[in-house]
Amino acid sequence: MEYATYGEKELLKGEVAALKELEKQLGRPLYRRKEGFGGIPMDSLKYYFSKEDGKVVRLNIGGWDVCDVTLVGHLKHLRNLGLAETDVSDLSPLKNLKELRVLKLMKTKVSDLTPLRGLKKLRVLWLNDTNVSDVSPLKGLKELRKLYLMDTNVSDVSPLRSSKKLMRLDLDDTDVSDVSPLKGLKNLRALFLNRTNVSDVSPLRDLKKMERLQFAVTDVSDISPLNGLKSLKWLDIAETDVSDISPLEGLKNLKELVVDYPIIAKNKDLLEELRERGVDVRRV
């Protein structure tokens, strides 16, 4: 294999060619001189990419003036790609990045996830603050561990029912109302449903590994389905229709509970017991 130098890094010749083409498109190199105290330039370089065995495996051009990622698609060995806060809308050049594990697309112009359908190794996907509404292209991504969908137009999470390895799902500020498709996600440890249309959390009753659950500012009124979630540590039920918090009495691992004044007024004794047990009860 032939190697070449980019900045001060030895890379496969093909990787260097791709980086140089990308540099031309961006109008700036993918490295810069590090600065020390007082902004004094140092001898070492700061890179916007990482390499292993001469291959570029991480690239972060988030916040840069970029809308076309065709050249990024030539970096076939990428495992971690950051495109946050760019004008990227078309993901089709990324469809051949089969090694990709982490993809950051928050605050972009992305709406169509179809090109991600074949990225079977993807584990972490950031889509918050985008125009995404349809997550069905993610249906076959069985390795997904973390998925960030807050502030999107998503309403249907049924395509995620096959994401059995999912550990964290953020649906804050979406149009989701039905969480029953999530009932089989037994590895889910963190679920965020704040400011959604959810009113029924009974489908979550068997998610025994759940540690963090938030559904503030929703129409949820009954939290009895949570009484079996013995791993639960953090719970936010502020500004809901919940009045009876007795189902929380047996949750011995609970560390933090966020409530509002109406809940406090109706559950003073139990809240005092929880405080004595070491639970940090917070009021919004």
The pLDDT, as a whole number, for residue 4 is 95
Pick from 4-8, 11-15, 38-42, 78-82 the range whose average pLDDT is largest.
78-82
5-14, 182-191, 250-259: segment of lowest average pLDDT: 5-14
pLDDT-derived band of residue 217, with 50, 70 and 90 as boundaries? very high
For residue 39, pLDDT over 80 is answered with no
β-pair partners for 5: 10
pLDDT-derived band of residue 189, with 50, 70 and 90 as boundaries? very high
Nearest to 115 by CA among 132, 89, 93: 93
Q: What angle do CA 269, 275, 278 make, to 5 degrees?
A: 150
For residue 40, pLDDT over 70 is answered with no
Mean pLDDT over the full length of the chain: 96
β-pair partners for 102: 80, 124
The pLDDT, as a whole number, for residue 33 is 76
The pLDDT, as a whole number, for residue 45 is 83
Whole-Å CA distances, 259 to 105, 148, 205, 243, 264: 33, 24, 20, 10, 7
| Mean pLDDT value across residues 107-117 | 98
Q: Which amino acid is at 213?
A: L
* pLDDT tens digits, 67-100: 999 999 999 999 999 999 999 999 999 999 999 9
| β-bridge pairing 31-35 and 41-47 | antiparallel
| β-bridge pairing 280-283 and 146-148 | unpaired
For residue 35, pLDDT over 70 is answered with no
The pLDDT, as a whole number, for residue 37 is 59
Which stretches of the chain are assigned E, i.e. beta strand?
A: 3-6, 9-12, 31-35, 41-47, 49-52, 55-60, 80-82, 102-104, 124-126, 146-148, 168-170, 190-192, 212-214, 234-236, 256-259, 280-283
* pLDDT tens digits, 220-275: 999 999 999 999 999 999 999 999 999 999 999 999 999 999 999 999 999 999 99
For residue 123, pLDDT over 60 is answered with yes
| Mean pLDDT value across residues 139-147 | 97
pLDDT-derived band of residue 208, with 50, 70 and 90 as boundaries? very high
Q: Give the Cα separation of 243 and 251 in Å (integer).
A: 17
Nearest to 192 by CA among 177, 166, 171, 219: 171
- What stretch of H or E contains 160? none
β-pair partners for 236: 214, 258
Structure tokens at 164: 């059995």
pLDDT-derived band of residue 46, with 50, 70 and 90 as boundaries? confident
For residue 43, pLDDT over 70 is answered with no
Record: fold of 177-284: 3.80.10
